[in-house]
Structure 1
Amino acid sequence: MSLLPLVFTSGWASGINAYAVILLFGVFGATGMTDEVPESLQRTDVLVVAGVLFVCEAVADKIPYVDSIWDSVHTVIRPVSGAVVAALLAGQSGSLPEIAAGAVGGATALMSHLVKAGTRMAVNSSPEPFSNVAVSTAEDFGVAGIITFAIFHPLAAAIIAGGLLLAGIVIVIFLASKIRRFWRRRAERRARRRMATAWPPL
């Protein structure tokens, strides 16, 4: 009964910070806080790699424009990670088909990733860098908090994750004009760089 809410929540969190999800689940499983985490996520090599990549994301995610480049690279990684984690959780419990769990986790991760990426484009339209740090830090703590909460209260955590996903979609729609300005400015900067590096006509 508790697996589907856990799958949904892990998918939402994976769309924001997939490495934190893997790291947290692995640590919780390895320390015996839950028996729903498969052993493949508890392996030392998996935890080390997830930890290193989490640190890389924590740094890149707080630098204006670098965060959007990082998000672009992870457009495939986060949904795939969400699907894999969900399938592993389903395989561990046997109460939900792995394909169905993977579809739920991957689709939820893709939606939350698109919300995160869209929000960051809007935040990057601000000239000051502090908003990036604030938003990124809030995301880090949010993912850690909701995954921890989901281990003990999966249904309540899924409801919160669903509410946050819906609120994020509404915010991105509201900030659509800022997002469009972000892409125009990015295109203009690329055009200026091309002109600056072009050879002068003979």
Structure 2
Amino acid sequence: MEEYQQLISIISVTMGVAWASGINLYAAILVLGLGGSMGGIDLPESLEIVQDPAVIMAAVLMYGVEFFADKVPGVDTGWDTLHTFIRIPAGALLAASSVGDVSPALQLAAGIVGGSVTSVTHAAKASSRVMINTSPEPVTNWLASISEDVAVIGGLWVALNHPLIFLAIFTVFILLVIWLLPKLWRGVSRIFRKLGSWLGLVEVEQQEICPLPEQSPGEKLVDELQRLSELHASGRLSDEEYVAAKEAVIRGSSSTASSTSSRGAAKGDRGTPPPANEPSP
């Protein structure tokens, strides 16, 4: 039973540090480093390096930079893009170090799984920030950033003290992210396509942006009658041609109406007046 609990604790810590690293790497290192140095957390020997004062000071400095960068719209997205190359390798390294004194194969497996968890968490955070940045006000950025910091600190505390509860919440989180990520990526793709069209980098068809609704038969009839009326008013159709074309449209003979209006338009384009009706002998 004790070995089972120890295994659950190791899995919880491994997934916890990987998950937290994808959201805020420096806050995760601070929680582990300060907790281990103060005796509140019993870290594995391979992870005790985070207790070093130099590592803690570096984490404090970078957490301070991220604290402000993460709350500025646009800057947070650039910060997340840069940290794609930092959070994922660091999360994999922390996860591999969290399993303790095990075989190199198990450490490598923990690093692979931990890096995958970190990448998924990082992708969810970065894409959600892009969507949040479409809002002009900065309040949502502040709320999201503060919520993420609280989630990292609280999540690691739960992972270290209540492993089963954390693993249950972690499972729900992974399922939610699997469902949500495709929707977030579609939204992010639309935003970048729109930015590309504004900058002239991407050509977007007008109908793709706002497709025209299909007209009903009644609307088509009204439009056709209005067009014939304009042709008649401009002199391109004579009275007789206008009446004939209107009757054809009303009867549903769109081909007859089209040919009549085309003849009237051609006559008007040539500049020749329509022939006057000759009196019968």
Instruction: Tell me whether 1:79 sits opposite 2:73 in the alignment.
Output: no
**Mapped pair 1:4 → 2:14:** no
Query: Higher Cα Rg: structure 1 or 2?
Result: 2
* 2:33 aligned with 1:26: yes
Q: Which residue of 2 aligns with 1:172?
A: 181
Provide the C-alpha distance between the structure 2 equivalents of 1:13 and 1:137, rounded to a whole number of angstroms: 14
Match in the other structure for 2:60 = 51
- Residue 41 of structure 1, CA deviation: 0.9
Output the aligned Cα RMSD: 2.1
Deviation, structure 1 residue 89: 1.4
Q: Which amino acid aligns with 1:26?
A: G
Question: How far does the alpha carbon of each residue in 1:44-78 deviate from its partner, in whole angstroms, 9 at most, with x for none?
Answer: 00000011111111111111111111111011211
Displacement, 1:99?
Answer: 0.8
Partner of 1:97: 106
Aligned residue type for 1:50: A
Structure 2 match to 1:200: none
Structure 2 Cα separation of the partners of residues 167 and 10 of structure 1: 19
Contact kept in structure 1, 2:33 and 2:50, CA below 8 Å: yes
Partner of 1:15: 22
1:60 equivalent in alignment to 2:60: no
Corresponding residue to 1:146 among 140, 144, 155: 155
- C-alpha distance after superposition, 1:28-49 (max 9, x if no partner): 1111112124321100000000
Amino acid at match of 2:21: S
Query: For 1:11 and 1:71, how far apart are their aligned partners in 2?
Result: 16
Query: Which ranges of structure 1 fall in alignment gaps of 5 or more residues?
Result: 193-202
**Contact 1:115 / 1:172 at 8 angstroms: preserved in 2?**
yes
Q: 2:136 maps to what in 1? A: 127
TM-fit CA distance, 1:166: 2.7
Paired residues of 1:6 and 1:155 also in contact (CA < 8 A): no
On the 8 A contact 1:61/1:70 being kept in 2, the answer is yes
What TM-score comes out, normalization by structure 2 length?
0.63
Aligned length: 191
Deviation at 1:188, TM superposition (A): 5.1
Q: Which amino acid aligns with 1:94?
A: V
Q: What CA distance in whole angstroms lies between the structure 2 residues aligned with 1:49 and 1:188?
A: 41
C-alpha deviation, 1:190, in angstroms = 5.4
- C-alpha change, 1:144 and 1:179, in structure 2 (3 Å) is same
Report deviation, 1:163. 1.8
Return 180-189 or 143-152, whichever deviates more: 180-189
Q: Which structure is richer in relative contact order (CA contacts within 8 A, separation 6 or more)?
A: 1
1:107 corresponds to 2:116: yes
Amino acid at match of 2:126: A
TM superposition score normalised by structure 1 = 0.86
Partners of 2:142 and 2:194 in 1: CA distance: 21
How far apart in 2 are the matches of 1:18 and 1:190? Answer: 34
Q: Which residue of 1 is the match for residue 166 of structure 2? A: 157
Query: C-alpha offsets along residues 141-172 of structure 1, whole Å, 9 cap, x if unaligned?
Result: 01110001111112321221232233234333
Distance, in Å, in 1 between the alignment partners of 2:98 and 2:53 is 18
Q: Distance in 2 between matches of 1:47 and 1:191?
A: 46
Question: Is the Cα contact below 8 Å between 1:7 and 1:104 reproduced in 2?
Answer: no
